[in-house]
């Protein structure tokens, strides 16, 4: 997802950015007779260089799988983590990872050309961009690389079938709902938890810095995973108490995070199924939940909250909102993942208003944040 990378890491190195546009078909790099660029062309200021030809841009888009798979291999071999302490030779990297030295050299060469690595002879180091694939990076996407390539990549190969039939690609390929498939394997489930924590940590940074919770003593984060969102909110509101509610298998992870944050005296956990029953609270949080589900399933989740809550209870939905028109936005790329992998989808403001109204809630306001996500405030 290019939008995610650019928003999250703010790639500003112009050489690296330009290199992402390079293609054998780009008329900045190949002359009209097919000859290589002259030195004069190379020295042309970027500001005066012609825009890349449509065929160059399209060829880059079509070849996106090459980069994503190369990055997956680097993450799987843990190359970026090995380079945390400084440059290593290609031979040393091959020795430590058990990789084929010649293949590794070619992978590094390609990824260095788009700003992931920098090389000096046989020595390799990560750039600030490439370092994000290290397990130890504070904004790591190491688990994301594993999770997306091991669980999302193949369903996207069935996207044409989805376009023709309407059936979610992963459901067809796996023979069951994606989340059921994940839950059936503890290793896959743990990987998903780590990957989602990585994604939301970067996108969530600064989201709640100036946000004031509505009145209410108890805040329940429904589908709260490791509790990160709730803990962030409660850290800014010391008078509130909280509940992290998720599947029973997820609860131990949340309990460990709560203890680590020193909030065990204010936050409890509860295990269950949000389609069936949720705990009573004054404020409910649904962060990155509803977009995973179609309208019928989303209404079941909202119905569980409405059944548990008292009239006047508040609901905070943290989601991206699809903007109107052709403007680029993270939600439009994420929506393709929902289409191929889950049964859900990203929604517009009007669609959220209608969904909430059907479930008995009134949409009060939509609060924009510094992130690609908004906070939708509603009242039962």
Give tens-digit pLDDT for 26-74: 332 222 333 333 333 444 455 666 888 999 999 999 999 999 999 999 9
Helix (H, G, I), strand (E, B) or coil at 361: coil
Pairing assessment for the beta strands 267-271 and 241-246 based on DSSP bridges? parallel
Cα 214 from Cα 219, distance rounded (Å): 10
Active-site hit among 137, 142, 291, 329: 291
Residues 6+ apart with CB under 8 A from 27: 50, 52, 53, 56
The CATH classification number of 65-132 equals: 1.10.10.10
Give tens-digit pLDDT for 85-113: 999 999 999 999 999 999 999 999 999 99
Give tens-digit pLDDT for 200-247: 776 666 788 888 898 889 999 999 988 989 999 998 899 899 999 999
What are all long-range contacts of 325-333, with beta carbons under 8 Å and residues at least 24 apart? 328/3, 329/3, 329/372, 330/1, 330/3, 330/4, 330/7, 330/372, 331/372, 332/3, 333/1, 333/2, 333/3, 333/4
Quickly count: other Cβ atoms within 10 Å of residue 281's Cβ: 24
CB-side exposure of 265: number of CA atoms within 13 Å? 4
Domain ranges of the chain: 65-132, 199-379
**Mean per-residue pLDDT for 164-186?**
93
CB-side exposure of 18: number of CA atoms within 13 Å? 12
Contact 36, 154 (CB under 8 A): no
Q: How far is CA 143 from CA 132, 187, 196, in A?
A: 11, 12, 9
- The CATH class of the 199-379 domain is alpha beta
What's the pTM value of the predicted model, to 2 decimals? 0.79
Per-residue pLDDT at 371: 85
Helix (H, G, I), strand (E, B) or coil at 102: helix
Per-residue pLDDT at 197: 84
Residues 6+ apart with CB under 8 A from 19: 113, 114, 115
Helix (H, G, I), strand (E, B) or coil at 125: strand
237 labelled catalytic: no
Helix (H, G, I), strand (E, B) or coil at 317: strand
Contact 148, 156 (CB under 8 A): no
Contact 203, 264 (CB under 8 A): no
Burial 57-94 (b: 16+ CB within 10 A, else e): eeebeeeeeebeebbbbbbebebbbbbeeebbebeebb
Helix (H, G, I), strand (E, B) or coil at 49: coil
């Amino acid at each position: 997802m290019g939008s995610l990378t650019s928003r999250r890491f703010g790639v500003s190195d112009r050489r690296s950015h330009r290199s992402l546009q390079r293609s054998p078909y780009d008329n900045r790099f190949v002359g009209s007779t097919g000859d290589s660029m002259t030195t004069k062309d190379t020295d042309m200021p970027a500001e005066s260089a012609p825009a890349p030809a449509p065929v160059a841009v399209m060829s880059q888009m079509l070849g996106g799988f090459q980069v994503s798979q190369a990055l997956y291999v680097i993450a799987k071999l843990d190359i970026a983590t090995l380079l945390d302490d400084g440059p290593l030779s290609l031979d040393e990297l091959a020795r430590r990872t058990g990789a084929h030295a010649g293949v590794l050299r070619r992978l590094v060469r390609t990824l260095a050309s788009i700003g992931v690595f920098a090389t000096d002879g046989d020595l390799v180091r990560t750039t600030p961009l490439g370092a994000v694939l290290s397990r130890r990076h504070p904004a790591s996407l190491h688990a994301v690389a594993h999770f997306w390539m091991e669980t999302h990549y193949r369903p996207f190969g069935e996207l044409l079938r989805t376009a023709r039939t309407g059936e979610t690609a992963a459901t067809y390929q796996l023979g069951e709902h994606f989340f059921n498939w994940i839950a059936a394997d503890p290793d896959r489930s743990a990987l998903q938890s780590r990957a989602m924590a990585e994604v939301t940590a970067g996108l969530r940074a600064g989201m709640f810095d100036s946000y004031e919770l509505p009145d209410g003593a108890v805040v329940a984060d429904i589908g709260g995973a490791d509790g990160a969102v709730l803990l962030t909110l409660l850290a800014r509101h010391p008078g509130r108490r909280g509940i992290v509610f998720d599947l029973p298998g997820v609860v131990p992870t949340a309990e460990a995070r709560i203890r680590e944050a020193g909030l065990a005296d204010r936050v409890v956990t509860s295990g269950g199924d949000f389609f069936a029953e949720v705990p009573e609270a004054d404020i409910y949080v649904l962060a990155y939940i509803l977009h995973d589900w179609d309208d019928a399933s989303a209404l079941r989740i909202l119905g569980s909250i409405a059944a548990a809550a008292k009239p006047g209870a508040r609901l905070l939905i943290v989601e991206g909102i699809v903007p109107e028109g052709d403007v680029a936005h993270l939600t439009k790329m994420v929506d393709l993942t929902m289409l191929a992998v889950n049964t859900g989808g990203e929604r517009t403001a009007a669609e959220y208003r209608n969904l909430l109204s059907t479930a008995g809630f009134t949409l009060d306001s939509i609060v924009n944040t510094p992130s690609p996500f908004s906070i939708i405030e509603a009242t039962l």
